[in-house]
Structure 1
């Protein structure tokens, strides 16, 4: 869980994970479900997906985890075939993992940014979008990536232009 969670926050997080796990239906016999966990950079998609997978496994559900971070430019088709990764984000090198089949009646949880795009959204049987405040996102990215947690840091400053004022 997020290292900054208090005991009360941790119990709220556990309740949220239980509620989401309760909402995920069992796959049809012989089938599998594809679950999307989406959100802005630093929303906590990977951590949430890992925690959700843990909760589902504790309930006896079979779960496969993958992350879009490992699939830059992936063009795999839908269905039960998948690769765990094709790109190593740390080394920026391709990975030649073999094609795998999601076991029957299991749940594949994929986290990543842009999973709700029009060209991808039809691939998911169940979908989760994590919404967090910008300050939370920036702080998490600073810890993860070693950057600045200052939301006023110049590369993060966003300017909105309005056509009515131009």
Structure 2
């Protein structure tokens, strides 16, 4: 799979999503994939989903700070991940993407932190499953190269 991804070509960055429940090993797998693709000489962008959280007040508003369900349902700003990363890196996008929209440690909203990548880059991101990201795969405006599901053993 790593070789297949590393040799994929497209007119826009190829986006690879690593999806699964919390603690399934998504980040570990994604970072390993990034290294393997870089070792094959490709430009790789890693998007850390921790830079796409909602602020604490919004995350905790519905079900409190200690709710696992509340975290799962409200922690991530998948709309920003879709609109400010996946779509600009897809067909017709300008390849300018947000590197993060939130600082998890300070709980500050981050604006203007963007980068531009080359057209043949591979973009790897990890995320806990959410319908907003699934929407990007199926809405006809973009297509993700590969979508992996990581689950508990």
TM-score range normalised by the length of the shorter chain: 0.5 to 0.7
Cα contact 1:35–1:110 (8 A) shared by 2: yes
User: Is 1:60 the equivalent of 2:76?
Assistant: no
Q: Deviations over 1:140-161 (max 9, x none)?
A: xxxxxxxxxxxxxxxxxxxxxx
Superposition CA RMSD, Å: 2.1
**Structure 1 residue runs without a partner (length 5+):** 1-19, 134-166
Question: Which of the pair has more CA radius of gyration?
Answer: 1
Match of residue 139 from structure 1: none
Structure 2 CA distance for aligned equivalents of residues 60 and 92 of structure 1:
36
Structure 2 CA distance for aligned equivalents of residues 62 and 70 of structure 1:
21
Compare relative contact order (CA 8 Å, sep 6+) and give the higher one, 1 or 2.
2
Q: Secondary structure at the match of 2:88?
A: coil
Match of residue 136 from structure 2: 120
Match of residue 17 from structure 1: none
Structure 2 CA distance for aligned equivalents of residues 62 and 131 of structure 1:
28
Structure 1 CA distance for aligned equivalents of residues 114 and 28 of structure 2:
25
Match of residue 102 from structure 2: 87
Cα contact 2:100–2:113 (8 A) shared by 1: no
Aligned residues: 113
TM-score, normalised to structure 1, is 0.60
TM-score, normalised to structure 2, is 0.64
Cα contact 2:47–2:123 (8 A) shared by 1: yes
Structure 2 CA distance for aligned equivalents of residues 33 and 115 of structure 1:
20
Deviation at 1:95, TM superposition (A): 1.8
Match of residue 21 from structure 2: 40
Structure 1 CA distance for aligned equivalents of residues 121 and 24 of structure 2:
26
